[in-house]
Structure 1
C-alpha cells in the first residue's frame, strides 16, 4: 500500500493528532511565533490607526445628529410632505444644487447631491428647508478618509493625492479603482486575518490546560501580567478581528469575500446580482416620479423607504428597511436591508435583489457578518461592546511592546553580567 493510501486509510482522529503534534514541533511553533510577532511589529502601528479610527466611527451617525440639531428640526403633522415634494422644494430654492437622492432620517427628509457630500434638510411637517450640511467634515470626516479610503477620498479632509494614484499591473489586473490607499487597506485587512489565525495557534495551551489560557497572573511581576493580558485579550477578540479583517479587505478586493464564502461552504458572489435592465421607453414618455417609484417598491417589499436614488440607466434604486431584524438599521441616511430596482417608466417592472434565495453562508455574510463590521445591526448601547473591542489592537500593541521591552532589557542585563564575569575568570 502506498503512502497516500495509508494516509487515506488512517482514521480521522489519528490524522488530527498528527496535525497537533506537527504544530507543537519547536521549528513550526517558532516559525508561527516569528510570523505573528513580525507582522504585528511591521504594520502594527498602521493597524492600530485603522482599528482605533474605526472604533470612533462607530458613533459617526450619532455624532452627526448630536452636532446638527438644526438639521434635524421637524414638526409633527398629519399630512407630511412626500419625498418628491421635498426634492422639488430644494431644487426650486437652490437651482445650482443637483438633487440625486432623498432619505428619511431622524424625522426629516434629506436631499443629497451626486457626490454624497452635501445634503439639504426638509421639515416634512412644514415643508420648509432647515438648511444644508456637509456629511463628511471635520475630525469625523478625516477619520472616515483614513479608515474607509486610505486618505484617497478627495472630498474628505486629509486627502493625499499620491495615494490616490492607480496601482500598476504586476502580471494581473487589479479591480477597477484600486489605488495605493485602498491597497494598503486590503493589506491591513489580510494582516488582521493572519494575526488572528497565528495568534490562536500560538496561544493554544491544549485541552488539559485550556483554562490556563484565560488566566492573568497579577502577582508575578510586570512581564507575567502583560504577557497573560496580551494572550487573553487576543483570544477573546479573535472573532471580531477575523470579521473586521475579512470584511475590511473584501470591501476593496471582492475576491476576498469569495474566498471566505468558499471556506464557509457558500457560493461565489453573483456578479449580476445588482444588475437591472429597464424596458425601452417610448419617446417623450415621462418618468413615473419618486413617489410612484417608492410606492411600487413598497408594494414589492413592505417596510419603510430609507433612501431613494433618482434614475440612473433608466431605473430608481430604493432601499427599504423591512419589519423586524434590520442589519443596517443604525446607519444614517443610507440604511435599509432590501435593495429594490424600479423601472423609471414602468412601475410594474420591479426587482428586489435581496429577496432572491441564497445559500446560508452567503445570507449570513450579507445580513450579519458585513453589517457587523460597522456595528449597524445593534443600537448605540450595544455598540459600546464594539467600541471596546475596536480598541483591543491598541491594548495588544501596548502589552506586546511591554513584554518585548522587558525581554530586551533582561537580555541586555544578562549580556552585561556575562561580560563582567569574563575578566575575573581570565
Structure 2
C-alpha cells in the first residue's frame, strides 16, 4: 500500500471513530424517545389514522341529518342556499336554540349553535328540518378530544377540565403542552432513526432489504428499519405540525427556519367595521354570503352571524384550491368580514395574500396535510397507511428488543 493510500485509509478510520459517539448518542436518543412515547404515540397516531376519515364516518353515522331532495324551496335562482330562511325555520322550531352560524355540507343546509356543539340539518329541496344532532359527542367526539385536545377541549366528550388550565411559565394549557411534547419527541424519533439507519452511499441498498430467511431477529430488525425510513417524511410532518398547532413558538421557529415571517398573525386579522347611521337595516346572511363571494370567488362553507361583541358577518369561503375541501362542516380556508350594516365595508383574510411563500405553504399545504383534508378519501389511504406505521414500528422494535434481552440473559447464565 502506498503512502497516499495509507493516509486515505487512516482518514477513513478516524472518520468512522468520530461518527461512533454521534451514532451512539443518537441511538440512545432514539431508544429513549421510543420508550417515553411508547403506547402514547401508538394511541395518538392510531386515533389520528381513524380520524383521517372523520368526515366520512360522521356523515355515515348521521344519514337522516344529511337527507336531501332536488327541490328549490330554500335555494335562490342561482342555486345558492337561503341561509336566512333556514335560520328563521330553526328559530321558529326551537326558540331556545342559540343560532351562531349557518352553512352547507354534503347537500344540506346546516344551522349550528354559538358553541359549535349542536346543529340542525335542513333539506334545501323541501325546506324541512331533518334532524338535530350533537357535533362533539359519541365515539368520534371522544376520539377528537383524545387526538386533537388530549382531553382538554371542554365541549367534546371525555374532556378533563384540569387539562384545560394554563400550565405555569409556559402560557399554554396542560393539554397543549402534552401534545406539543409528543410532537417534538416524534420529530426526535424520526430524525435519530434516519441517521441510525443510514448505511453509507456504497451500501444504501442494504437499508431497504428485508432478510426473511435469517431468523426472526433479522427479519423484524430489517422491517423496523425499512418501515421507519420510508415513513420519515410523514412522521416529521405530523410531528412538526402537531407541535406547532399547540405551541406557537414551534410554528414561529419553523417559519423562521424556512424563510417565512415568524409573526404568524395575518395583518388583516383585526377588523373594525365602520360606524353606520343609527337605524341602518341589517344585511341578511344570504346577502353577506353573496358579498363575500364577490370579494373572493368560491363556495360559501359557512357564515357566522353577527353578535353583540362581533357586529359583522364572518363568511368562510372555499376557493378554487381549498386545503380543507374534504373537511365536514367547516371547509372554508378564506375568511371574509362583512359589516352587518354596510355592504361596502369588507375585508378578506387569506394566507395566500401579502405573505412570504413559506407562510403560504405552511397555511395552505403543510398544516392541512396533518389532517389529510386537502385530498379525497382514496388519496387519504396513503395517509392511513403511514398513520399506522408507528404501530408497526412499536411491534417490530419491541420484538428485536425482547430478542436482545433474552440473548443477554442467556449469556449471563
TM-score (norm 1): 0.88
Residue matched to 2:257: 263
Please say if 1:69 is aligned against 2:63.
Answer: yes
Residue matched to 2:88: 88
Please say if 1:150 is aligned against 2:150.
Answer: yes
Q: Is the 8 A contact 1:103 1:333 kept in 2?
A: yes
Residue in structure 1 matching 2:28, options 23, 34, 54: 34
Most deviating of 102-111 and 79-88: 79-88
Q: Is the 8 A contact 1:328 1:371 kept in 2?
A: yes
Deviation at 1:26, TM superposition (A): 1.5
In the alignment, the residues of structure 2 paired with residue 301 and residue 193 of structure 1 have an alpha-carbon distance, to the nearest angstrom, of 37
Deviation at 1:233, TM superposition (A): 0.8
The aligned runs of 1:304-343 (5 Å cut-off) are 304-312=299-307, 313-323=310-320, 325-343=321-339
Residue matched to 1:243: 237
Please say if 1:397 is aligned against 2:391.
Answer: no
SS in 2 for 1:348: strand
Residue matched to 1:275: 270
Residue matched to 1:4: none
Please say if 1:112 is aligned against 2:116.
Answer: no
In the alignment, the residues of structure 2 paired with residue 318 and residue 60 of structure 1 have an alpha-carbon distance, to the nearest angstrom, of 23
- 5+ long unaligned stretches in structure 1: 1-16, 417-426
Aligned residues: 392
In the alignment, the residues of structure 2 paired with residue 370 and residue 200 of structure 1 have an alpha-carbon distance, to the nearest angstrom, of 23
Q: Is the 8 A contact 2:55 2:328 kept in 1?
A: yes
Q: 1:99 to 1:22 in 2, by over 3 A?
A: farther
Q: Is the 8 A contact 2:72 2:124 kept in 1?
A: no
Cα deviation code 1:203-249 (max 9, x no counterpart): 11111111111111111111111111111111111111111111111
Q: Is the 8 A contact 1:22 1:28 kept in 2?
A: no
Q: Is the 8 A contact 1:247 1:370 kept in 2?
A: yes
SS in 1 for 2:74: coil
Q: 1:344 to 1:52 in 2, by over 3 A?
A: same
Deviation at 1:270, TM superposition (A): 4.0
Deviation at 1:21, TM superposition (A): 4.0
In the alignment, the residues of structure 1 paired with residue 318 and residue 156 of structure 2 have an alpha-carbon distance, to the nearest angstrom, of 28
Deviation at 1:135, TM superposition (A): 1.2
Cα deviation code 1:4-35 (max 9, x no counterpart): xxxxxxxxxxxxx99x9489521221111000
Residue matched to 1:371: 368
SS in 2 for 1:347: strand
Deviation at 1:253, TM superposition (A): 1.1
Q: 1:357 to 1:41 in 2, by over 3 A?
A: same
Cα deviation code 1:168-226 (max 9, x no counterpart): 12xxx51xxx2212210010011111111111111111111111111111111111111
Most deviating of 29-38 and 136-145: 136-145
In the alignment, the residues of structure 2 paired with residue 180 and residue 309 of structure 1 have an alpha-carbon distance, to the nearest angstrom, of 29
Q: Is the 8 A contact 2:223 2:396 kept in 1?
A: yes
- 5+ long unaligned stretches in structure 2: 1-10, 76-81
Deviation at 1:78, TM superposition (A): 4.0
Residue matched to 1:285: 280
Deviation at 1:79, TM superposition (A): 5.0
In the alignment, the residues of structure 1 paired with residue 264 and residue 41 of structure 2 have an alpha-carbon distance, to the nearest angstrom, of 31
In the alignment, the residues of structure 1 paired with residue 91 and residue 17 of structure 2 have an alpha-carbon distance, to the nearest angstrom, of 65
The aligned runs of 1:188-199 (5 Å cut-off) are 188-199=182-193
Residue matched to 2:379: 382
Q: Is the 8 A contact 2:298 2:317 kept in 1?
A: yes
TM-score (norm 2): 0.91
Cα deviation code 1:132-177 (max 9, x no counterpart): 01112221111111001111122322222332232112xxx51xxx
SS in 2 for 1:293: helix
